[in-house]
Structure 1
């Protein structure tokens, strides 16, 4: 049996993959995609980033990139075993299921930023200064993508050497750190606003218990590494806290009426502010969306 890494791991660690665990992992992957759909729909419907902190968008995207870089490097050991013919076809496929899961989750998380950038651009409901900050976030994340690609290429060149695992571990720890930094500002933002805003409760209702199950499958999978699942465990704890706040403000505090009024007042303030803006260039950029958003706002109030 071929040696599989700097710590004396062998390809045998990937043998004996469970069919049940594989099917469960596939279902979780589908669940990840479904869980993000309410958030995408909410951004498209509201056309505002109200309730989504800039730090949440930045750190969430960067955390996903760190985790994606980690799993691409960690799972390269199993791919090498497959290429050497040391594993059966099923064990080879099973050894890469974590890569599929984490890649799917990472892309879905980054798409939140993409949707915000696209659907709030020029919207009468969007705070213009906030949008400028979000654009800067988008540029920073794009730069991070380039750095991650370079890290992956360097790590794969040294696939069986210590540098690969050092890069993987550092990315895993950075992902965990940013996960904590991501949720704490978002929890504070929700606590301050006293309403969820554009933040989707439906998404979190699926993702919070799903996150616990996701972490468990990553932990129990053959050849799993702590640096690939620790950030998801931390995310499960913090997202549960955020979900509890959103549910309380939306459904329990004053029967949710206060949350709706606070959100509507903020949207009204932004609409009035944008309508009264004197900057000709900004007015021109926003004009294609004014009639649509104004009509939508009037329909909501009526």
Structure 2
């Protein structure tokens, strides 16, 4: 896809969105930039504005700036959500002065330890922005990368002190071995603080190509798992698949020496989400009818929920029947967008 493939509709949608902040009500993520990119990338640019019209009541204005983020003070601004407009402005300047892949390569290792921030939404937004830029650069797509990186920097949140448990040879078995966090108290930050043990998996991988293969395996396993475990929390468990897939999408735009660290960060994020929202028991589930990939996408679009659309987008990347079944399971479990 290049910019002409979307008829300029993705650009128009992003321009509509860039006066809005990355969150609403101080904690809920604005998913619109990710969804419109997914629809455009999947050949549904003609549906972008209609979907956005349905979603626009959930948008809030971008918060006011506080003070410039600079090369000298960026560390003290990292992880401060009040500085989101400052961070977006900083990345807008960086992207006007340097090639976007160079900016991404500089900041990716700085931001990667904070992948948990914003319930993993910032890295997901960056993954969508990178895919759009790889398809064809434009001013609104560069601005979207600035917004994604700015959101990630403002919500940067690290985790330490997690004990490594014995892992399993495969991503699927290792996700099955993740111990559940037995608490229903609080939101994502409180649940994340309760995650103290996670299985090790692929921790010795250093070869970039192997890292990419293992990351693809993780995305496939987490997507498949949603069909049988998504009822634990139909919204949040989507991120066990979409967060590592965002990292996977970014790999080709990054230096190869960042691929293995990216795998390790993606694993811990996916495993942590799995721990935080695990159901008491899996359920056996399969769709009543077998649909094509395009039919599944059309059902997701008609349903409209942002997480359903994004999981379906990831399921289409995986591309097999079990992944499509997971997407249909999200349609069944989730509340449609009004």
**Larger Rg belongs to:** 1
More helix by share: 1
| Greater relative contact order, per chain length (Cα 8 Å cut-off, separation 6+) | 1
- Shared fold per TM-score greater than 0.5: no
TM-score, structure 2 as length reference: 0.25
